[in-house]
Amino acid sequence: MANYYNPDTIIYSNGKLVKAAECTIDLYSQTLHYGLGVFEGIRSYRLQDGSTGIFKAEAHYNRLEASARALHMPYIWSSHELTAATYSVLQANNLQDAYIRPLVYGPANMSFNFNTESNLAIMAWPMQPFLGDKLLRVFTSSVQRPNPKGFNMRVKACGHYVNSIMASYEAKQHGYDEALLLDLEGNVSEAPGANVFIEKNGQLITPPAGNILPGITRATVLELCATLHIPVQERHFTLAEMKTADSAFFCGTAAEIIGIQSIDAYSFPTPWPEAKGHQLQQAYQQCIRQAS
Ligand code: PMP
């Protein structure tokens, strides 16, 4: 198991900075049993001026609040206050390049009733910036993304990640690096923890919001495309269409922008250094380290 914390690690728990090792959660928490909880994945970076910057903190905390409200979880925090709390967690642990995990979870409740209060914890652990030019070998999963009429896929809910873990596990069992999931109509949706873009004839295509978690990195990529004059379309595409694309990449807070070498037996023909994704990867690296 990875080392997420040690005896000195400090986390933010319900308004206080406390030792991770001394924190407990209630075994009867509704979140633990039924998956009704929400979380975020955020990165902080050492910026070019040597200071620490949390990338798109407000956007992540706004999404945390929207996720909690969509699941009728009481939510009493402001994005502003949680951003400040996150900086204090980073400082208490001497972290600059880190992964930050806020989690909103319910109290003891074995019924299916909604709760009148929620708990909030913010954890952080070191994460080195991605440096290499590693490309992924991707496997089309037999695990489908859930029907959005059953699960609101815009919500970053704990329970949705059972689906992600099953898909990722299956891909690794088959000797691949990561999975690609299709939606209920057979269109390409996303990776277990990242969004997908394909490039065809100089244009990028990404699935629209609806059957995916519309990522904050995806939004940043769309902004960068506008700046770099890269044409991009949000529309559905099939796996067959993906297998005629010139290049492809995944993007997400943890993955940043990472090129895809192949999907199943199909290898993308454009060498990664010549792909639009590579240009965006470099622009993204600039963006995350820029002092505001
Ligand atoms: N899709 C899923 C299923 C995810 O878990 C993530 C990671 N949060 C993403 C897409 C990418 O979202 P973001 O860019 O906001 O990290």
CA-CA-CA-CA torsion for 167, 168, 171, 172, nearest 10 degrees?
A: -150
Q: What is the pLDDT of residues 101-154, one digit of tens each?
A: 999 999 999 999 999 999 999 999 999 877 667 899 999 999 999 999 999 999
Q: Out of 16, 149, 156, 200, which one is annotated catalytic?
A: 156
Question: What's the first-to-final CA gap in the chain, in angstroms?
Answer: 36
Residue 192: is its pLDDT beyond 60?
yes
Cβ neighbours, 10 Å, residue 24: 6
CATH for 193? 3.20.10.10
Whether 156 is catalytic is yes
Same domain membership, residue 278 and residue 143: yes
| Inter-residue contact 181 to 190 (CB < 8 Å) | yes
Atom of ligand 1 nearest to the CA of 164: 3
**How many angstroms does the Cα of residue 215 sit away from the middle of ligand 1?**
5
Domain boundary, last residue among 74, 98, 126:
126
Find out whether the beta carbon of 252 lies less than 6 Å from any atom of ligand 1. Answer: yes
Most informative mutation of 195, 220, 223 for ligand 1 (most atoms within 8 A of CB): 195
Q: What per-residue confidence (pLDDT) applies to 131?
A: 64
Same domain membership, residue 144 and residue 105: no
156: nearest Cα among 248, 55, 59 = 59
**How many angstroms does the Cα of residue 1 sit away from the middle of ligand 1?**
23
Residue 33 vs residue 133, higher pLDDT: 33
Domain boundary, last residue among 92, 126, 160:
126
CATH for 32? 3.30.470.10
When the pLDDT of each residue in the chain is averaged and rounded to a whole number, the result is 96
Write out the residue range of the structural domain in which residue 234 sits. Answer: 136-288
Q: Span 22-32, mean pLDDT?
A: 97
Please give the model's pTM, rounded to 2 decimal places: 0.97
Instruction: Look at residue 70 and tell me if it is in a domain.
Output: yes
Cβ neighbours, 10 Å, residue 29: 19
Q: What per-residue confidence (pLDDT) applies to 128?
A: 86
Q: What is the pLDDT of residues 42-51, one digit of tens each?
A: 999 999 999 9
Q: What is the pLDDT of residues 232-243, one digit of tens each?
A: 999 999 999 999
Domain boundary, last residue among 94, 126, 158:
126
Q: What per-residue confidence (pLDDT) applies to 132?
A: 65
Q: Span 224-230, mean pLDDT?
A: 98
